[in-house]
Structure 1
């Protein structure tokens, strides 16, 4: 009998009824979708082992026999340390405590013998238990390559899920080179990578394009009130907001000290203290006090609500209100559309 992940949790336990009940509770939890639970009583010591049929490996549990600890351990170690990445397993690897190394390959170049997979399989033998290795074709998980700006294949990025930092590999794709890089990573010698797009050559529109490297220049200008929209290309709510944000910028274009800006949060590092949890996120950085940014929290992202937000919070700007009858009709339609959907889309993990 096998479950979809072909993973078995086998326990050898004493006759202690508390231990028996503990393991029975775990076996009846959501974990039963990931494991085949089996075991036997009468052992002098309590042991628990994960057997993975896919790669013929096993991992033994060394902690206390407490439900929370065992559940956390099972969630961490039920997947093999190297396997193909799919949408169904993506979320599980993002939750790993150990770093995860993502290999992206070109489907046309590596469809047959997959030399890159063979390479990381050899590395897995040397780093077993310290890092997870997963692989995918770039065309099957395009958001992964896009998010970490991987443009050449095979490409690799190492992600530390605890602090969300990532490290893009830029060396030669050989076993020794990658092995040395991983050893340097565990020795704390590898600098984290920063997601960032290039500064645009032209930035003269009503809405300024912000990237990681020009954030301070535009957003932290002490003489300007800066309204910034943080978005992602895949976000449908962001697409609906585009015409509203453009119209808002046109409405206030005569306000010399008010700047409208936008940044792709999926392709540029966003400072953690901004605590962006979903897209789109709109916030105002007032003139003279950039540390006290103001988050737009209204459910309706309309010309009316955004205009009110600006007039109430801008520090230096004389707001110019235009009488435009077409705004009211467009505004009402936007409100009706947004009532049918959630306020924002959560950030996709990868």
Structure 2
């Protein structure tokens, strides 16, 4: 009986602790009973659809709680739905993974595309709560220009004066990215030291204030967007899972300095790169990255040694890598030299490649970085290539079908090559006009050409054969297989008796 009493007490304490934790939380718990009434009544609600067992949800939880508390003071509600308890509700909302975050405006949902850290969530939702362009008064001017990392303010004679329409169009397109305001009060403009018309960007990094450098009257949405995209990227900043998309969206190459962030001379290592970054920022984006956390990324960029700091330039468009030799010391001079060569076009990319196979005896030809041009661009042959990754589940399922395809045409390898390449382990040469972004990717090059055709059909053997037969330029006639017949020996009396006995059985 005593054991039962203690167990009950422990259960009550656990329930009490859970209730207290939920009571202290500023995150609303939504269920099928109150979901629609809550999101329909509010001008703005952020909702997380989660599962208690989800690791990413657990990592998000403290940031979500912190953001909810900060946003409560701004009258922005933050809520969550337990998709284990509310499976039907989550299914009706099209939730397929956890955590999924959605922004609701009077019941209308939009995908949350912001960061997953507290300050990023707060910044994103504050922007969502404001009009695309806010009217900024003299009293609120200083506060507004410091409200985010990048704030854009148009100072105009009136709210409709040019280029107000183009400015508003840019604001609508980028309300998730930047904070936009308009000042039409001349006293407020004078207090800010701005002569209208003008557009000014205020930043919490690098140069804190930049004015639109072109004739303001002819400013259009596209030019404003391009100017902001340039200013949004710092001269030198950390790149991580939260910020990589900003750099990936840029057309510029990306230069990485891999460092140990716990090193006592971290700031000194960054100072070595900064003057080079300042000089070449118009042509290259510069970042530093946590080498301890992203060591595998360093290897993918052809920095094989765990030696920090290390430096590499990546052409994101062509997926080419230009690492600084890791045997060299990372100095301002060595960084300046490699960047100058890259900008001048005289620096050769370093291509990762597995060893060229000594023989190609199997039905599927093995391509690597070093032999890709020679074999894949052979104009005398039709070439069908699978670009795969060893860890890819779809590639593993395709493997026996691809081998079967190779076996079918093995007798005419001099006319048709069925090939494959382990893409993460082999860089494609600069001469290849495409890059691979998903696995498996199948491409076919007809004989007499160097142009590849994308295969977009299903991955059955029959469909692959049909595709080959449709696009191949060389003859696909397979040689006849000659079956040698064994000469028949005359039957002896003993043999006749044995066969007769077999027939009787």
TM-score (norm 1): 0.74
2:150, 2:440 → 1: CA distance? 39
* Correspondence 1:301 to 2:483: no
Question: Match of 1:51?
Answer: 202
Task: Please list, as runs of the form range in 1=range in 2, the aligned pairs for 1:230-269 lying within 5 A after superposition.
Answer: 230-233=387-390, 235-257=392-414, 258-266=416-424, 267-269=426-428
Q: Aligned in 2, Cα 1:53/1:294: closer, same or farther, shift over 3 Å? A: closer
Q: Which moved more, 1:135-144 or 1:239-248?
A: 135-144
Contact map agreement 2:311 2:330 (CA 8 A) in 1: no
1:106-142 Cα deviation digits (max 9, x unpaired): 56xx544424333223433444555421111245345
Question: Match of 1:226?
Answer: 383
* Correspondence 1:179 to 2:339: no
Q: Aligned in 2, Cα 1:189/1:20: closer, same or farther, shift over 3 Å? A: closer
Q: Aligned in 2, Cα 1:165/1:293: closer, same or farther, shift over 3 Å? A: closer
* Correspondence 1:37 to 2:37: no
Q: Aligned in 2, Cα 1:295/1:192: closer, same or farther, shift over 3 Å? A: same
1:256-278 Cα deviation digits (max 9, x unpaired): 53432112344322544457665
Higher-Rg structure is: 2
Q: Aligned in 2, Cα 1:75/1:207: closer, same or farther, shift over 3 Å? A: same
Question: Match of 1:23?
Answer: 167
Q: 1:291 aligns with which of 450, 468, 475?
A: 450
Structure 2 residue matching 1:88: 3-state secondary structure: coil
Structure 2 unaligned blocks of 5 or more: 1-73, 75-121, 125-147, 190-194, 482-505
Question: Match of 1:337?
Answer: none
Q: Aligned in 2, Cα 1:219/1:100: closer, same or farther, shift over 3 Å? A: closer
- Structure number with the bigger relative contact order (C-alpha 8 A, sep ≥ 6) is 1
Task: Please list, as runs of the form range in 1=range in 2, the aligned pairs for 1:8-157 lying within 5 A after superposition.
Answer: 8-15=151-158, 17-18=160-161, 19-27=163-171, 29-41=172-184, 42=186, 43=189, 44-55=195-206, 57-63=208-214, 64-106=218-260, 110-114=262-266, 115-127=268-280, 129-141=282-294, 144-152=297-305, 153=307, 154-157=309-312
2:397, 2:253 → 1: CA distance? 36
Contact map agreement 2:368 2:421 (CA 8 A) in 1: yes
Contact map agreement 1:208 1:261 (CA 8 A) in 2: yes
Bigger helix fraction: 2
RMSD, matched Cα: 3.5
Cα distance, 1:185 vs. partner? 3.6
2:441, 2:281 → 1: CA distance? 40
Structure 1 unaligned blocks of 5 or more: 323-350
